[in-house]
Structure 1
Amino acid sequence: MTAVLFDFSGTLFRIESTEAWLRAALDDAGLELAAPALAETAGALERAGALPGGAPPSRVPEELAEAWETRDESSALHRAAYTGLSRQVSLPDAGLHDALYERHMSPGAWSPYPDAAEVLAALRGRGVAVGVVSNIGWDLRPVFREHGLDRFVDTYVLSYEHGIRKPDPRLFGVACAALGVEPGRTLMVGDDRRADGGAKALGCGVHFVEHLPVAERPDGLRPVLDLVR
C-alpha cells in the first residue's frame, strides 16, 4: 500500500457526548439547566439525532427527509438537517439550536482516538501518503490543526466541497488523484461499512474500525500499520 485514506468521525476523531455538547452551548450562552433537566434535554437531543457524529435519529420527520438524505452534499443542507432535528426538542432559548450546531464544528468538541497520532506519524515515517475522506458539511481542517494532526495529512476530500458523498466511488477517486496513487495500492479505513465500503468499487482495500467512545478504543487504529507493511 502506498496510501491510506481515513474517515473522520468515529475513525480518527470522536465527537463529545450529547450532554457535554449541550452543556458547552449553554455555558457559552450564559444559560443554565438543573442537572435533571440537562440530562432529560440531552437525552431528547440524542434521540432526535441532532448531534452530528453522534447517534442517528430514531425517526426523521417527514419535512426533513430530503435534507437528511442529502445532508452531506452541501453546508446549507447539513445545517438545515441538523438544526431541523434539534428543533424537534424544546430548548430554553431558540438561539441555542444554531449555537449547538456551531459548537459541534469547534475543535474542542472533538477528541482524537488515543492511537491516532501514533499511527499517522508512523505512516508518515514510512512515506505512506495519507488522505481524509469524509461525509461532512463543514471544514474539519481546523480540528486537525488544533489537535496537531494536520501535519500528517496530505489531502482532505470533503463531501460538501464536491457535492458527492460516500459510498460514491468518485469521492475516493478524487482522493487518489490528489495523492497521485493507484486505488489498488490504497487502503480506506473507516467505521461505516456502507459508506466507507464504497471504496471497494474503485479497487481500494478497506479496513473497518469500531465507532466507540475514545476511552473504549485505545488501539483500534494500530492494525492499519500491519496492513501497509
Structure 2
Amino acid sequence: MAAVLFDFSGTLFRVETTESWLRAVLAETGHFLPERRLADVTRALEEAGALPGGVEPVEVPADLADAWSVRDKSAELHRAAYTGMSRRVPLPDPGLHDALYERHMSPAAWSPYPDAAEVLRTLRRRGIGVGVVSNIGWDLRPVFREHGLDTYVDTYVLSYEHGVQKPDPRLFAVACEALAVDPRQVLMVGDNRAADGGATALGCGVHFVDHLPVAERPDALLPVLDLMS
C-alpha cells in the first residue's frame, strides 16, 4: 500500500457536543438561557441534526430534503441546509443560527482522536502518502493547523471545492491523482460505510472506524498502521 486517505469528521476529528456548541455561542454573543431551557434547546438541536458532524437528524423536513441530499457540494448549500435545520428550533435571537454555524467551523469546536497524531506521524515517517477526503462545506485546513496535524497531510480533497460528494468515486480519484498513486495501492479510512465505501469502486481498500466521542475511542486508528506495514 502506498497511501492512506482519511475522512475528517468522526474519523480523525470529532466535533464538540451539541451542548458545548450552544453554550459557546451563547457566551460569545452575550445571551443567556436558564439551564432547563438550555437542555430543551440542546435536545431539539440534536433531534434536528443542526450541528454539522454531530447527530444525524431524526427527520429531514420535506422543504429541506433536496438541499440536504447535496449539502456537501458547495459552501452555500452546506450553510443553507444546516442553518435551515437549526431554524426549526426557536432561539432567543435569530442571529444565533448563523453564529452557531460559524462556531462549528472554528478549530476550537473540534478535537482530534487520541491516536490521530501518532498514526499520521508514523505514516509520514514510513514515507506513506496521506490525504484527507471529506464531505464538507468549508475549509477544514485551519483545524488541522491549529491542532498540529497539517504537517502530516499531503493533500486535502474537500467536496465543496470540487462540487462532488462521497460516495462518488471521482472525489477519491482526485485524491489518488494528487498523491500520484494507483488506487489499488490506497487504503480509505472512514466512519461512514455508504460514503467512504465509495472508494472501493476504484479498487481502494477500506477500513472503518466508529463515529464515537473522543473519550470513547482511544485507539481505533492504530490498526491502520498494521494494515500499511
Deviation at 1:16, TM superposition (A): 0.2
Answering whether residue 118 of structure 2 is matched by residue 129 of structure 1, we say: no
Q: Which residue of 1 aligns with 2:55?
A: 55
Q: Deviations over 1:131-158 (max 9, x none)?
A: 0000000000000000000000000000
Deviation at 1:127, TM superposition (A): 0.2
Distance 1:22 1:175 in 2: 34
Distance 2:32 2:227 in 1: 48
> Which runs of structure 2 are paired with 1:190-229 in the superposition (5 Å)?
190-229=190-229
Q: Which residue of 1 aligns with 2:153?
A: 153
Q: Which runs of 5+ in 1 are unaligned?
A: none
Q: Deviations over 1:92-117 (max 9, x none)?
A: 11100000000000000000000000
Q: Which runs of 5+ in 2 are unaligned?
A: none
**What is the CA RMSD across the aligned residues, in angstroms?**
0.4
Distance 2:171 2:128 in 1: 20
Distance 1:84 1:134 in 2: 21
Letter paired with 1:97: H
Deviation at 1:175, TM superposition (A): 0.0
Answering whether residue 66 of structure 2 is matched by residue 66 of structure 1, we say: yes
SS at match of 1:4: strand
Structure 1 moving runs of 4+ over 6 Å: none
Letter paired with 2:66: E
The alignment covers a number of residue pairs equal to 229
Answering whether residue 114 of structure 2 is matched by residue 114 of structure 1, we say: yes
Distance 1:171 1:25 in 2: 33
Q: Which residue of 1 aligns with 2:4?
A: 4
Deviation at 1:36, TM superposition (A): 1.0
SS at match of 1:195: helix
Q: Which residue of 2 aligns with 1:80?
A: 80
TM-score, normalised via structure 1 length: 0.99
SS at match of 2:188: strand
TM-score, normalised via structure 2 length: 0.99
Deviation at 1:34, TM superposition (A): 1.3
Distance 1:89 1:19 in 2: 14
Identity %: 74
